[in-house]
């Protein structure tokens, strides 16, 4: 592929900035050092976060693509940037949980760390202002956020990702507790297969050391446990990311 020229800023999220390129089918995703939690209420900057997450995401997206999951990832561009396909995103977050933690533990009063007999799938409506409320298939379909077919595909692909990443992390001595995915359609193929967008990094999942139970994900920031990026990089090194 020919070299792309980065154009104007299209969107500034809480941790990434998206830029247009001279090719309407592609965007540049820039990973900043910003970290946020609680829907943007808690903000900080962490040295090396951008390059760490950019590399971890590239590695994981590569594994998922190799397993047959369509993703928006095209290539690593430089330390902090990757080229992705331009997407029209569905405004929901898809979560699969293998172990009870976080909002599920709070919502149902089930202790954090309770192993689940089978993975549990949850949808959340993507809205910081509303604090990403839990929602179901009917909310998504009737309110027009996605079709019944897309809902079925989001569930199927998110479960399939568990089948790829749970053993990958287990082999690195890490339990994949839960994770969040976001989907959409490439703008140049709106009727094509549902495609994984956004990112897979320790910002959007829970990863616990299999032996010690130590948290290695963004809960270190949410809960003020310290050494956030050291743990992200340890996750990366263990799964084979050159960090």
214-223 contact pairs (CB < 8 A, 24+) = 216/174, 218/35, 218/37, 219/102, 221/35, 221/37, 221/42, 221/44, 221/46, 222/37, 222/38, 222/42
Among 16, 27, 29, 36, binds ligand ASP (CB under 6 A): 36
124 touching ligand TMP, by CB under 6 A: yes
Interaction partner, residue 57 (ligand TMP, ligand ASP, none; CB < 5-8 Å by kind): none
Quote the tokens at residue 209: 């050391």
Q: How far is the CB of 140 from ligand TMP (least distance, A)?
A: 16
- DSSP symbols for 157-215: HHHHHHHHHHHHHHHTTEEEEEEEE-EEEETT-TTS--EE-S--STTSEEEEETTT--B
CB of 81 to ligand TMP, least distance (A): 21
Q: Which stretch binds ligand ASP (CB under 6 A): 4-12, 30-38, 46-54, 186-194?
A: 30-38
Measured between alpha carbons, how far is 236 from 54 in angstroms, rounded to an integer? 11
CB nearer to ligand TMP: pick between 56 and 95 = 95
Q: Which of 102, 160, 209, 214 binds ligand TMP (CB under 6 A)?
A: 102
Task: Name the helix (H) or strand (E) containing 27.
Answer: strand 26-31
Q: Is 17 in the site for ligand ASP (CB under 6 A)?
A: no
Instruction: Report which of 74, 76, 50, 16 is spatially closest to residue 195, judged by C-alpha positions.
Output: 74
Nearer to ligand TMP, 51 or 178 (CB): 178
The footprint of ligand ASP on residues 37-76 (CB under 6 A) is: 37-40
- Please return the burial class of 236, using the count of CB atoms within 10 Å of its CB with bins 0-12, 13-18 and 19+: buried
Piece in contact with ligand ASP (CB under 6 A), picked from 32-40, 78-86, 134-142, 227-235: 32-40
> Could you say which residues in the range 164-223 bind ligand TMP, by CB under 6 A?
178-180, 204-206
Q: How far is the CB of 171 from ligand TMP (least distance, A)?
A: 20
Residues 207-236 that bind ligand ASP (CB under 6 A): 218, 222
| Residue 36 binding result from ligand TMP, ligand ASP, none, given CB thresholds of 5 to 8 Å by partner type | ligand ASP
Buried b (16+ CB within 10 A) or exposed e, 80-99: bbbbbbbbeebebbbbbbbb
**Residue 40 touches which of ligand ASP, ligand TMP, none (Cβ within 5-8 Å per kind):** ligand ASP
Q: CB within 8 A of 236, min separation 6: which ones?
A: 52, 55, 56, 59, 243
Task: Give the footprint of ligand ASP on this chain (CB under 6 A).
Answer: 14, 36-40, 218, 222
* Residues lying near ligand TMP in the complex (CB under 6 A): 93, 95, 101-104, 124, 132, 178-180, 204-206
């Amino acid at each position: 592929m020919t070299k792309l020229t980065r154009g104007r800023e299209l969107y500034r999220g809480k941790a990434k900035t998206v830029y247009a390129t001279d090719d309407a089918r592609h965007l540049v995703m820039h990973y900043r050092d910003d970290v946020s939690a609680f829907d943007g209420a808690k903000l900080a900057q962490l040295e090396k976060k951008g390059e760490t997450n950019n590399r971890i995401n590239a590695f994981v997206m590569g594994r998922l693509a190799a397993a047959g999951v369509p993703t928006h990832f095209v290539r690593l561009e430089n330390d902090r940037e990757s080229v992705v396909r331009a997407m029209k995103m569905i405004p929901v977050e898809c979560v699969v949980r293998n172990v009870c933690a976080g909002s599920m533990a709070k919502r149902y009063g089930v202790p954090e760390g309770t192993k689940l007999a089978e993975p549990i799938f949850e949808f959340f409506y993507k809205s910081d202002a509303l604090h990403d409320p839990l929602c179901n298939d009917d909310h998504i379909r009737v309110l027009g956020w996605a079709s019944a077919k897309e809902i079925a595909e989001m569930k199927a692909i998110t479960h399939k990702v568990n089948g790829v990443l749970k053993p990958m992390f287990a082999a690195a001595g890490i339990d994949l507790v839960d994770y969040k995915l976001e989907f959409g359609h490439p703008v140049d193929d709106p009727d094509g297969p549902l495609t994984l967008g956004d990112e897979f990094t320790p910002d959007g999942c829970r990863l616990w050391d299999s032996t010690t139970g130590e948290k290695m994900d963004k809960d270190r920031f949410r809960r003020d446990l310290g050494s956030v990026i050291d743990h992200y990089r340890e996750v990366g090194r263990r799964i084979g990311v050159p960090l």
